[in-house]
């Protein structure tokens, strides 16, 4: 509380000069002129533009005022990264692209100093954006199926479409994608990139209707991850029109995976049959040689 009282009255007006723009874009309310009003309307400005924060900020005062600004910091960072994506084809996944993104938003290029200098945050931001888009797409499809407006796809078709949709999002940045993949493989990035990858695969299988609770849960995800990664690699050196070769590769891999499932069952039942046959043969031989007789 002391901090807020000591700061000059202009602070609420100036302080969030850029952050204010976030809420301005959400609603065009005229800003209060006096600083006192600023204090009260500041929380109100931010409220509708963001997710509900619980108790009314004017009561919780400093704490939530800070958390609102903190949230706006993150939002601003997201906005800068989103704007920076436009400059990736030209500058690559680098701090330069982020600087250009900041300049596009009207900020100084020095704002790129907020992010790591190797551009990894830009790539991770892009990945999570793609995953979100994919989830929304799959959810919409599911809704259509539930409302009866679309046919439920067979599982191999579903998986194929989902992976294709997700890979297509990378196409605009394809030239620089190998750079992105190599940055993601760096040790300090592996935890985040791995978790994004696994949550994406989980999403796809969830919407595909996978309800397994045994070892299949793991094997399915492992198989799909392998299919996704290999298809991604194929796509990067694919020069066929509209990446036909890639989608054919994907189709074949998924067909293989499906067959593998059937084959596993067949192998098991064949195995059982063979074992029974051998047992029978053993008993017959024992009978023939008279070992089975109890004397």
Partner 1 sequence: QTHFGFQTVTEEERREKINQVFESVAKKYDVMNDSMTLGIHRLWKDVLVRKMNPSPGTQLLDVAGGTGDIAFRFINYVRSVRERQLQRRLKHHQNLSWQEIAQSYQEDKSPLGGSQVVVCDINKEMLKVGKEKAQDLGYSEGLSWVLGNAEELPFDDDKFDVYTIAFGIRNVTRIDLALQEAYRVLKPGGRFLCLEFSQVSNPLLSRLYDLYSFQVIPVLGEVIAGDWKSYQYLVESIRRFPPQEELKAMIEDAGFFKVDYQNLNSGIVAIHSGFKL
Q: Return residues touching partner 1 (CB under 8 A).
A: 3, 6-8, 11, 14-19, 69, 73, 76, 95-96, 99, 102, 105-114, 117
Instruction: Quote the least distance from Cβ 14 to partner 1, whole Å.
Output: 6
Spatial neighbors of 88 by CB under 8 A, at least 6 apart, are 97, 122, 173, 176
CB of 11 to partner 1, least distance (A): 6
Q: How many residues does the chain have?
A: 295
Structure letter (DSSP) for residue 212: -
Which CB atom, from 94 or from 231, has the smaller least distance to partner 1? 94
How far apart, in whole angstroms, are the C-alpha atoms of residue 190 and residue 55? Answer: 38
- Residue whose CB is less far from partner 1, 107 or 134: 107
Nearer to partner 1, 38 or 246 (CB): 38
Angstrom distance (rounded) from CA 133 to CA 228: 17
Closest to partner 1 by CB, 19 vs 181, is 19
Contacts within 8 Å (CB) and 24+ apart, 246-249: 246/167, 247/160, 247/164
- State in angstroms the smallest separation of the CB of 84 from partner 1: 13
Residue closer to partner 1, measured from CB, 116 or 225 = 116
> Of the candidates 234, 259, 237, which has an alpha carbon nearest to the alpha carbon of residue 164?
234
- Name the minimum Å distance from CB 83 to partner 1: 12
Supply the minimum distance, in Å, between the C-beta of residue 63 and partner 1: 15
DSSP per-residue letters across 125-149: HHHHHHHHHHHHHHHHHHHHHHTTS
Q: Closest separation between CB of residue 50 and partner 1, Å? A: 16
198 phi and psi angles, rounded to 5 deg: -70, -35
DSSP-derived letter for residue 213 is -
Decide whether 81 or 107 has the Cβ nearer to partner 1: 107
Residue that the structure tokens 């509209």 belong to: 242
113 vs 209 by CB, closer to partner 1? 113
- Shortest CA distance to 267 belongs to which of 256, 278, 259? 259
Least distance in angstroms from the C-beta of 25 to partner 1? 15
Q: Using the structure block, give the residue that is written with the tokens 């250009």.
A: 100
Q: Which of 205, 45, 69, 179 is nearest to 119 (CA)?
A: 179
């Amino acid at each position: 509380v002391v901090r807020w009282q000591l700061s000059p009255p202009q602070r609420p007006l100036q302080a969030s000069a850029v952050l204010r723009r976030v809420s301005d874009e959400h609603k065009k309310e005229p800003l209060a002129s006096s600083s006192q009003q600023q204090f009260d309307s500041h929380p109100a400005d931010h409220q509708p533009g963001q997710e509900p924060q619980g108790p009314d900020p004017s009561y919780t005062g400093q704490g939530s005022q800070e958390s609102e600004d903190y949230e706006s910091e993150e939002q601003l960072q997201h906005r800068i990264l989103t704007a920076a994506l436009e400059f990736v084809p030209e500058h690559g996944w680098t701090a330069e692209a982020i600087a250009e993104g900041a300049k596009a938003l009207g900020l100084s290029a020095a704002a790129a100093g907020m992010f790591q200098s190797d551009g990894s945050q830009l790539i991770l931001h892009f990945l999570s954006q793609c995953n979100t888009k994919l989830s929304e797409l799959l959810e919409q499809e599911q809704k259509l199926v539930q409302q009866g407006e679309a046919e439920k796809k067979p599982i191999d078709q579903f998986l194929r479409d989902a992976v294709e949709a997700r890979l297509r999002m990378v196409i605009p940045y394809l030239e620089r994608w190998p750079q992105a993949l190599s940055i993601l493989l760096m040790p300090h990035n592996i935890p985040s990139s791995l978790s994004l990858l696994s949550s994406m695969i989980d999403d796809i299988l969830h919407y595909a209707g996978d309800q397994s609770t045994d070892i299949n849960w793991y094997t399915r995800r492992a198989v799909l991850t392998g299919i996704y990664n290999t298809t991604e690699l194929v796509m990067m050196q694919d020069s066929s029109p509209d990446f036909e070769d890639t989608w054919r590769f994907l189709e074949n891999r998924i067909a293989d995976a499906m067959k593998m499932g059937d084959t596993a069952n067949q192998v098991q039942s064949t195995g059982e049959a063979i074992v029974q046959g051998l047992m029978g043969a053993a008993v017959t031989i024992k009978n023939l040689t008279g070992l089975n007789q109890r004397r």
